């Protein structure tokens, strides 16, 4: 479970300092399950919004073993869940499953085009599985994270290896790095969306680019002067077009 936990303050038995990415065991709405610290938020605001959350303890080696065992049990429900989806005639794909630490709740992750009315399906599963059922729809990024794979760089996908929080990757991030046409398939990851790694250096490029003369402006240096045609952000160099139409490179 990924849930907002404050990085400072106290909820339940464990007092912060919580670290982003840290795993905890929590109780939420009477259900005990693992959680991951995603971001820094105000503790008092969290208590007001989510009063039923209680941090029980930091994740232990025993908890890791329990989580692995429960994952095996949860996966055993997938085939039957998919059969029920087929019988109910729903256009959705069951991808993965998780069991809460107390085994009271079964969470099933699915993908679908658009919204799905699965109320009858949930009622069927509750009666058959004898558990609280939570169906969570995931997007292309989350689906790819579940199945994993390798990126164009040859490494394991970031989302499947270390990224806990899949932030939005925007076209502006690609543009500020001059990564090519924003419509180029080269910028898309396995999920079909913009690659997560485009966000890693976007702020650095944005800050360094702000220090350079804008494209289209006039720039004068000891090496020459002319209209700025392009910027080499990492090297701090510009390509200029001089008055006689020549192209020169200068250092800012």
For CA atoms 143, 161, 6, 23, give the dihedral sign.
positive
Give the residue among 122, 139, 140 at the shortest CA–CA distance from 131.
122
> Any residues with CB less than 8 A from the CB of 168 and at least 6 apart, and which?
none
Please check whether residues 24 and 8 belong to one and the same domain: yes
CATH no. for residue 125?
Answer: 3.30.300
Note whether 112 and 75 are same-domain residues: yes
Same domain, 155 and 174: yes
The string of DSSP codes covering the chain is -EE---SSSEEBTEES---TT-EEEEEETTEEEEEEE-----HHHHHHH-TTEEEEEE--HHHHHHHHHHHHHHHTTHHHHHHHHHHTT---EEEEEEE-TTS-EEEEEEE-SS----HHHHHHHHHHH-SEEEEEE--HHHHHHHH--B-TTSSBPHHHHT--S-----HHHHHHTT-S-TT-GGGB-TTSSBPGGGGTSHHHHHHHHHTSPPTTSEEEETTEEEEEEEEETTTTEEEEE-TTS-EEEEE-
Is residue 32 exposed (0-12), middle (13-18) or buried (19+ Cβ within 10 Å)?
middle
In this structure, the answer to whether residues 177 and 229 fall within a common structural domain is no
State the total domains in the chain.
4
How far apart CA 249 and CA 252 sit, in angstroms, is: 10
Residue 194 is part of which domain span? 142-207
The two beta strands, 2-3 and 31-37, are parallel
116 token code pair: 């799905």
What integer pLDDT is reported at residue 41 of this predicted model? 55
Domain termination site, one of 78, 112, 138: 138
Q: Are residues 192 and 217 in the same domain?
A: no
53 DSSP β-pair partners: 28
User: How far is the C-alpha of 88 from the C-alpha of 84, rounded, in Å?
Assistant: 6
Kindly report the CATH number assigned to the domain that includes residue 221.
Answer: 2.30.30
Q: Phi and psi of 24, rounded to 5°?
A: -135, 165
Q: Which of 138, 163, 182 is the last residue of a domain?
A: 138
Per-residue pLDDT of the chain (252 residues; tens, 9 = 90+): 445 454 444 445 545 567 777 888 888 888 898 888 776 655 445 444 444 678 888 899 999 999 999 999 999 999 999 999 999 999 999 999 999 999 999 999 999 988 999 999 999 999 999 999 999 999 888 889 888 889 988 999 998 888 877 778 888 898 888 876 666 778 888 888 889 999 999 999 999 888 888 888 999 888 888 999 988 888 888 999 888 888 988 888
Task: Point out the domain boundary residue: 109, 138, 167.
Answer: 138
Asked whether residue 55 falls in the same domain as residue 90, the answer is no
pTM for the model stands at 0.69
| 223 shares its domain with 162 | no
The verdict on 80 and 134 lying in the same domain is yes
Same domain, 114 and 129: yes
* Nearest one of 238, 229, 233 to 178, comparing CA atoms: 233
Residues 176 and 237 in one domain: no
């Amino acid at each position: 479970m990924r849930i907002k936990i404050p990085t400072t303050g106290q909820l339940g038995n464990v007092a912060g300092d919580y670290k982003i990415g840290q795993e905890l065991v929590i109780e939420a709405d009477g259900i005990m399950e693992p959680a991951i610290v995603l971001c820094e938020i105000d503790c008092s605001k969290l208590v007001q919004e989510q009063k039923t959350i209680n941090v029980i303890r930091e994740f232990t080696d025993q908890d890791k073993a329990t989580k692995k065992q429960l994952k095996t049990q949860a996966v055993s429900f997938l085939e039957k869940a998919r059969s029920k989806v087929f019988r109910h005639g729903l256009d959705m794909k069951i991808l993965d499953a998780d069991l809460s630490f107390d085994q009271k709740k079964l969470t099933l992750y699915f993908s679908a085009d658009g919204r799905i009315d699965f109320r009858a399906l949930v009622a069927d599963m509750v009666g058959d599985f004898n558990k609280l059922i939570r169906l969570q729809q995931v997007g292309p990024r989350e689906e790819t994270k579940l199945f994993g794979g390798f990126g164009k760089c040859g490494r394991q996908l970031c989302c499947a290896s270390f990224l806990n929080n899949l932030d939005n990757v925007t076209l502006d991030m690609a543009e500020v790095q001059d990564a090519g046409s924003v419509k180029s398939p080269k910028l898309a990851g396995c999920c079909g969306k913009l690659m997560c790694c485009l966000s890693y250096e976007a702020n650095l490029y944005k800050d360094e680019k702000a220090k350079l003369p804008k494209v289209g402006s006039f720039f004068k240096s000891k090496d020459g002067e002319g209209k700025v045609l392009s910027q080499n952000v990492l090297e701090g160099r510009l390509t200029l077009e001089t008055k006689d139409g020549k192209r020169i490179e200068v250092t800012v």
